[in-house]
Structure 1
Amino acid sequence: MSDVNIRTVLVTGSNRGIGYEFVQQFLNSQNPPQKIFATCRDPGAQQSQELKNLSEKHSNVVVIQLDTTNPASVNASVKEVEKHLNGQGLDLLINNAGILNHNSLETQTAEDMMHVYNVNVVGPMLTTQAALNILSRCHMEGYKQDGIISIAIHPGWVQTDMGGEKAPITKQTSVSGMMKIIYSLSHQHSGTFIDWEGKTIPW
């Protein structure tokens, strides 16, 4: 039996790719969250326009600026989220923001490698640490016995700007699979690594 009741969700990297698809599928779910916090590094950029249009059509979509590698930006975004939560607590955090560079061994630089590490590793850590307080409120209200569920999901090789056109999985298929996993989670899944089809991946 699932322990998940998603009233509020925050998705990083929501202006395109898998993050944007998550926002769309949450909106189209049978019981959409009351608040969908869709974060991105630059809400004013052209590549964020579709997300802004979506938020104008749906009052439960709140677009928030968030640079996951910048501690000040992370803390500011959490404070902004708290204003909308009114003490309710955040039910779900999806650390989706990530980058990939296609440099060869000959052209790769230390700066490039550190940037990828900061976005893909340090960024999720900073975001989770900053959000832990509002996640803990949810824990206190509804998860006293079970605790906060934390898992890693492999989305597969997906047709996005990062995955490229040759990827065999569409954004819709990948996110649909991950949504099924999220809505079926229980405390026993905590600490596991699962792919988008629900198969456990050894750590």
Structure 2
Amino acid sequence: MAKDLDGVPIDLLINNAGILEPGLFATATKEHFMRHFEINSLGPFLTTRALHDNLKLAADAHGLAIVASVTSILGSIKVNLDGAFAPLKKVYYDNHKLPNGEMYGYRASKSALNMIHANMAMDLKTRSPLSCCSRATSRPT
């Protein structure tokens, strides 16, 4: 993909690919976790890195390029521990017939994505005028 876009400025990159496969404490496997991490966490990182030169071209030309990744409130440790998650319980659990605590791989991978984006925002702002942001949504991603 990066070869096909060589020299093409990219103003906005939206990383939107993701999977959600239920995983119970008793049954979640290494493969379950790795599949979620590869797609939900590493995919956006590797895509952003592969297109960094294109984003930098746009940032140099227009003053800014934006990288956004669709994440989930389920990836927020604070929201899930302090009870702020309660209003969204129906959206995630009641509508999908999932008890609280399921989705180990999904939740961990979205938490990792949030940290990857925070790290990219700190790292890339010192090297190029890129803005990295994650979008938590109240809908399953």
Q: TM-score with structure 2 length normalisation?
A: 0.48
Higher relative contact order (CA 8 A, sep 6+): 2
Higher helix share: 2
